[in-house]
Structure 1
Amino acid sequence: MSIYTVSIVRGDDVARQVREAVNLLGGMERFVKPGDRVLVKPNMTGPASYEKGVTTNPAVVEALARMALEAGAGAVDIGDGTGSVHIGSLKVLELCGMAEAAGRLGCGLVDLNKGECVKIPVEGGLILDYVLVNRNFLEYDAVINVPVLKTHFITEVSLGMKNMKGCIPPVEKRRFHDVGVNKAVADLNKVVRTALTVMDGTVAGEGLGPKEGRPVGFKTVLAGANVLAVDMTAAAVMGFVPEEIEHIRMAAEHGLGPAGSGEIQVVGEPVEAIRRKFLPAVPTMPDSDRARIINYQACSGCMGAAAIAISRLTDMGFFEAWGGERLTLVIGTKVPAGVGAEPDTFLLGNCAVRKESGGRVIQGCAPSALDVANMILDYYGITARPYV
Structure 2
Amino acid sequence: YLQDEERVTVTAPDPLIESSFRMPKKLMDADLFVTLPKLKVNMYATVTLSVKNHIGLLLAADRLTHHHYDIHKKIADLYRTRLPDFIITDAIVAGEGQGPMHAAAVGLGLLIAGKNGVAVDSVSARLMGYEPEEIEHVVHLAARGIGPTSLEEIEVEGAELLSARARKMARPRVDFDDYAPHVRVVVGSELACPEGCVGMIRGSLDAFFQKGDWGRLTGYTFIVGKPCVVPAGLDPRKTVVIGDCAAAYAGRGTFIPGCPIPPMEISRTLVKKGIIPPVNTRLRDLGWGSLAHALGIKVR
TM-score between both structures, scaled by the size of structure 1:
0.56
Q: Distance in 2 between matches of 1:293 and 1:112?
A: 39
- Which runs of 5 or more structure 1 residues have no equivalent in the other structure? 1-110, 354-362, 379-388
Q: Distance in 2 between matches of 1:331 and 1:114?
A: 31
- CA shift, 1:220, in A, is 0.7
Q: Distance in 2 between matches of 1:135 and 1:304?
A: 35
Aligned partner of 1:291 among 184, 193, 198: 184
2:200 aligned partner, one-letter code: C
Q: Distance in 2 between matches of 1:174 and 1:281?
A: 20
Establish whether residue 132 from structure 1 lines up as the match of residue 43 from structure 2.
Answer: no
Aligned partner of 1:277 among 149, 153, 168: 168
2:172 aligned partner, one-letter code: A
Establish whether residue 184 from structure 1 lines up as the match of residue 77 from structure 2.
Answer: no
Q: Distance in 2 between matches of 1:323 and 1:207?
A: 24
String of CA shifts for 1:171-205, please: whole Å, max 9, x gaps.
22111415721111111112211111000011100
Aligned partner of 1:329 among 214, 230, 240: 240
**What SS is found at the alignment partner of 2:3?**
coil
Structure 1 residues 247 and 321: CA distance shift in structure 2, 3 A: closer
Q: Is the 8 A contact 1:145 1:160 kept in 2?
A: yes
Q: Distance in 2 between matches of 1:366 and 1:139?
A: 38
1:142 aligned partner, one-letter code: L
2:117 aligned partner, one-letter code: V
Q: Distance in 2 between matches of 1:167 and 1:206?
A: 23
Q: Distance in 2 between matches of 1:233 and 1:273?
A: 13
Structure 1 residues 302 and 269: CA distance shift in structure 2, 3 A: same
Establish whether residue 302 from structure 1 lines up as the match of residue 200 from structure 2.
Answer: yes
- Of the structure 1 ranges 188-197 and 293-302, higher mean CA displacement relative to structure 2 is found in 293-302
- Of the structure 1 ranges 119-128 and 317-326, higher mean CA displacement relative to structure 2 is found in 317-326
**What SS is found at the alignment partner of 1:221?**
strand
- CA shift, 1:317, in A, is 6.3
4+ runs of 1 displaced by more than 3 Å?
Answer: 285-290, 293-301, 309-313, 315-338, 345-349, 363-368
2:184 aligned partner, one-letter code: A
Structure 1 residues 163 and 299: CA distance shift in structure 2, 3 A: farther
Aligned partner of 1:364 among 241, 258, 264: 264
TM-score between both structures, scaled by the size of structure 2:
0.70
1:282 aligned partner, one-letter code: R
- CA shift, 1:348, in A, is 9.1
Q: Distance in 2 between matches of 1:366 and 1:321?
A: 15
Q: Distance in 2 between matches of 1:253 and 1:260?
A: 12
Q: Distance in 2 between matches of 1:333 and 1:113?
A: 28
Q: Is the 8 A contact 2:39 2:49 kept in 1?
A: yes
* Equivalent residue, structure 2, for 1:194: 84
Structure 1 residues 148 and 112: CA distance shift in structure 2, 3 A: same
Q: Percent identity?
A: 27
Establish whether residue 376 from structure 1 lines up as the match of residue 252 from structure 2.
Answer: no
- Which runs of 5 or more structure 2 residues have no equivalent in the other structure? 222-233, 278-300
Q: Distance in 2 between matches of 1:251 and 1:130?
A: 17
- CA shift, 1:328, in A, is 3.5
**What SS is found at the alignment partner of 1:164?**
helix
Q: Distance in 1 between matches of 2:78 and 2:39?
A: 20
* Equivalent residue, structure 1, for 2:226: none
1:302 aligned partner, one-letter code: M
Establish whether residue 227 from structure 1 lines up as the match of residue 117 from structure 2.
Answer: yes
Q: Distance in 2 between matches of 1:116 and 1:293?
A: 43
Q: Is the 8 A contact 1:284 1:307 kept in 2?
A: no
RMSD: 3.9
1:308 aligned partner, one-letter code: D
**What SS is found at the alignment partner of 2:93?**
strand
Q: How many residues align?
A: 255
Q: Distance in 2 between matches of 1:333 and 1:231?
A: 33
Q: Distance in 2 between matches of 1:280 and 1:323?
A: 26
String of CA shifts for 1:75-110, please: whole Å, max 9, x gaps.
xxxxxxxxxxxxxxxxxxxxxxxxxxxxxxxxxxxx
